[in-house]
Structure 1
Amino acid sequence: MKKNLFLIGAAALLLSACTGQENPEDADVQDAAEEKTADGEVRSLATEGTENQDGIPGEHKIYAQEIDQAQPVSNPSGYEELKHAAEHFTPEDYEIRVANDNPGNRVLLFMDGDQPAYKTVLIKNQGLLKIISGDKGLIEETKI
């Protein structure tokens, strides 16, 4: 009789300890697949590709530091991203400045006076081009 009560008690204890608990391994996977933004909004890191992510505040901006370090371009004909940018605006209407050009990426700013109107970010090894408007944020993200 004592043996049966012990088994029933052990089974009840085991079952009550297991209910309502999340598998810790699953929690790690979920945490790795999500990121909290500065304003507390959680976004998934699993989404890749050419999805428009305008809803993420602060994700695609033109920063003052980029404007300060940008150098004017004397001959813009060698930049492949200009033909893609021409689908959204006329690059010739703006002063083109290079904010960054290294083996990994290139950032071009399209200045309207002292203010940047557009920005292109070319990630060279992936062939990924982002076109960002100073007003609207990300307007296109495409493979070239």
Structure 2
Amino acid sequence: MKKNLFLIGAAAMFLSGCGGQQNPEEALPDVPEEVEADGDVQSLAQESEEMSENESGEHKIHAQEVDHAQPVSDPSNYEELTHAKEHFTPEDYEIRVANDNPGNRVLLFMDGDEPVFKTVLIKNQGLLKIISSDKGLIGQTKI
């Protein structure tokens, strides 16, 4: 009988140590969840975290863009330059095209070998983002 009580007590202590929190004040707050149209449940905190990761990566000038960028021979063909003049003087920099496809166009503004500014034109939305190498996103406008 003593063996059984000892085993039950030991098991209870073992299970209570595995499942509980030591300090209930350190408990994480409940994160609200959102049910999407297709029935998936997604945490709002997770969605917010993913958005901030996308934005921080999106508002940088990446070395890969610089490596693949081609010099612009005629800058007058790029409508985003008139909007970029509100934030900096494009003529002061060498302009290179990092990407130009039906969906978007990325222009880099180089000071020697270093990119100083970047414009991202999302063509189907008419959205222009202006990014500084040291300050990140400095302008966003519809064109």
User: TM-score interval w.r.t. the shorter chain?
Assistant: 0.5 to 0.7
C-alpha deviation, 1:141, in angstroms: 1.1
Q: TM-score, normalised by structure 2?
A: 0.66
Q: Give distance in 2, aligned partners of 1:23 and 1:65.
A: 37
C-alpha deviation, 1:34, in angstroms: 1.6
By relative contact order (CA 8 Å, sep 6+), the higher-ranking structure is: 1
C-alpha deviation, 1:134, in angstroms: 0.5
Aligned to 1:90: 89
Query: What's the RMSD between the two structures over aligned residues?
Result: 2.9
SS at match of 2:41: helix
Q: Give distance in 2, aligned partners of 1:23 and 1:93.
A: 49
Structure 1 unmatched ranges of 5 or more: 1-19, 46-55
What per-residue deviation string (whole Å, max 9, x for no partner) do you get for residues 84-118 of structure 1?
A: 00001000000000000001000000000100000
C-alpha deviation, 1:23, in angstroms: 8.0
Aligned to 2:41: 28
Q: Give distance in 2, aligned partners of 1:87 and 1:120.
A: 12
Q: TM-score, normalised by structure 1?
A: 0.66
C-alpha deviation, 1:31, in angstroms: 4.1
Aligned to 2:126: 127
Structure 2 unmatched ranges of 5 or more: 1-29
What per-residue deviation string (whole Å, max 9, x for no partner) do you get for residues 46-100 of structure 1?
A: xxxxxxxxxx644410000000000000100010000000001000000000000
More helix by percentage: 2
Q: Give distance in 1, aligned partners of 2:34 and 2:115.
A: 47
Q: Give distance in 1, aligned partners of 2:70 and 2:98.
A: 6
- The amino acid of 1:117's aligned partner reads V
Aligned pair count reads 109
C-alpha deviation, 1:28, in angstroms: 1.6
Q: What are the residue-to-residue correspondences of 1:105-124 with 2, within 5 Å?
A: 105-124=104-123
C-alpha deviation, 1:32, in angstroms: 8.9
- Which protein is bigger by CA-based radius of gyration? 2
* Cα distance change of structure 1 residues 31 and 74 upon mapping to structure 2, 3 Å threshold: same
Q: Give distance in 1, aligned partners of 2:34 and 2:99.
A: 42
Q: What are the residue-to-residue correspondences of 1:34-113 with 2, within 5 Å?
A: 34-37=47-50, 43=52, 57-113=56-112
